[in-house]
């Protein structure tokens, strides 16, 4: 079958431009196979990363038709079926990973990616090991808690598609926080409390996640970074008072109000989260313009009506919280 590959090409000195390459390929050929064919037969200047060709090293991650993926894992047949099944000559677009500056063509500078990983201190602390010549053994159950996050191959796909990273350059990224949970869950580590304080910091840490689900959807190893971030948040919430920070108040108030009324009483939500239940005067003042506009337009709720099934909602939340407490 014939396929046209449209590759976004650029370097540090010129703007991106699209160059097309027509190939005769088999549906089972991987995208990396096709990149190799283009480089070896049509344009030797094409730049991209590769290494193992077996979905192990993570080197060949690129954006394929708008989503980040491993070029050695995705094949032509599935891409054509997904995006260009009805086209006379199907096209596949390849672009460099997002949220990282481009060095050349499909090769990006991953300096910040690795720097953010380093920022979460991704090493097991052995300070609690009193006998250095002896192994620190784990039970099979304790080791099993680390399996999912241990599968991360640092390909950068989640970082590339992260909306939070795109709008907040200080956000460390889903890759780093997924690794962070591995350390929180590791019973050999002696720095759990200090780590949670670090990961709790402003929107640079776990509270910067917007829960867009992009990282989970593109991860080739099913690490589910957003789920791991959620687990860190839960560990923080268990340890923190409800007035600790706006991020923590937001989460705890949301749950409390839904338990009370089945849905959110927006009048209380703003006062408790932004105004910290009348403890934060600056926050209260910041709510005034919005409140006045809502009143002026007749959109300020005069009373709150609980939703139908309020008791069932509360029961479900209580059951989930009890289950999580038992599991932990």
pLDDT attached to residue 85: 64
Rounded-to-integer distance, Cα 315 and Cα 294, Å: 33
Rounded-to-integer distance, Cα 63 and Cα 93, Å: 8
pLDDT attached to residue 216: 97
pTM above 0.95, yes or no: no
Q: Is the pLDDT of residue 129 over 60?
A: no
Q: For 48-62, write each residue's pLDDT tens digit.
A: 999 999 999 999 999
Residues in the chain: 328
Pairing mode of beta strands 14-24, 2-11: antiparallel
Rounded-to-integer distance, Cα 207 and Cα 246, Å: 10
Distance between start and end Cα atoms, the chain: 53
Stated as kind and residue range, the H or E segment containing 266 is helix 266-273
- From-to residues of CATH 3.10.20.30 in the chain: 2-107
- From-to residues of CATH 1.10.1060.10 in the chain: 110-239
Q: In this structure, how many other beta carbons lie within 10 angstroms of the beta carbon of residue 323?
A: 10
Sequence-ordered alpha helix ranges (H) in 53-169: 76-83, 111-119, 140-144, 147-150, 157-160, 163-167
Q: For 83-97, write each residue's pLDDT tens digit.
A: 766 678 999 999 999
| Domain at 2-107: CATH code | 3.10.20.30
| Domain at 110-239: CATH code | 1.10.1060.10
Band (pLDDT 50/70/90 cuts) for residue 127 is: low
Rounded-to-integer distance, Cα 146 and Cα 286, Å: 43
The closest of 71, 119, 126, 117 to 94, measured between CA atoms, is 71
Stated as kind and residue range, the H or E segment containing 191 is none
């Amino acid at each position: 079958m014939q396929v046209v590959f449209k590759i976004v090409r650029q370097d540090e000195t010129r703007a991106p431009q699209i160059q097309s390459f027509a190939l005769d390929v088999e549906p089972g050929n991987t995208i990396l196979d096709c990149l190799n064919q283009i480089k070896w037969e049509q344009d030797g200047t094409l730049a991209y990363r590769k290494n193992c060709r077996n979905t192990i090293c993570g080197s060949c991650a690129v954006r394929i038709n708008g989503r980040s993926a491993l070029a050695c894992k995705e094949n032509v047949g599935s891409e054509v079926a997904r995006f260009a099944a009805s086209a006379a000559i199907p096209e596949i677009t390849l672009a460099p990973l997002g949220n990282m500056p481009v060095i050349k063509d499909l090769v990006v500078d991953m300096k910040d990616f690795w720097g953010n990983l380093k920022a979460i201190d991704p090493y097991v602390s052995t300070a609690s090991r009193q006998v250095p010549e002896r192994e620190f053994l784990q039970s099979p159950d304790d080791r099993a808690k680390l399996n999912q996050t241990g599968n991360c191959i640092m390909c950068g796909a989640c970082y590339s598609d992260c909306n939070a990273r795109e709008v907040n350059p200080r956000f460390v990224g889903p890759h780093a926080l997924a690794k962070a949970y591995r350390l929180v869950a590791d019973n050999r580590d002696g720095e759990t409390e200090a780590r949670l304080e670090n990961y709790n910091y402003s929107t640079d840490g776990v509270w910067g996640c917007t829960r867009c689900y992009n990282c989970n959807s593109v991860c080739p190893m099913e690490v589910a970074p957003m789920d791991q971030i959620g687990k860190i948040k839960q560990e923080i919430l268990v340890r923190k008072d409800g007035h600790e920070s706006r991020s923590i108040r937001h989460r705890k108030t949301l749950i409390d109000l839904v338990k009370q009324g089945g849905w959110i009483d927006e009048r209380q939500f703003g006062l408790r989260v932004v105004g910290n239940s009348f403890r934060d005067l600056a926050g209260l003042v910041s709510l005034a313009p919005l409140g006045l506009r809502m009143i002026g337009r007749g959109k300020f709720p005069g009373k709150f009506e609980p939703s139908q099934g309020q008791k069932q909602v509360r029961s479900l939340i209580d059951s989930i919280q009890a289950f999580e407490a038992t599991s932990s």
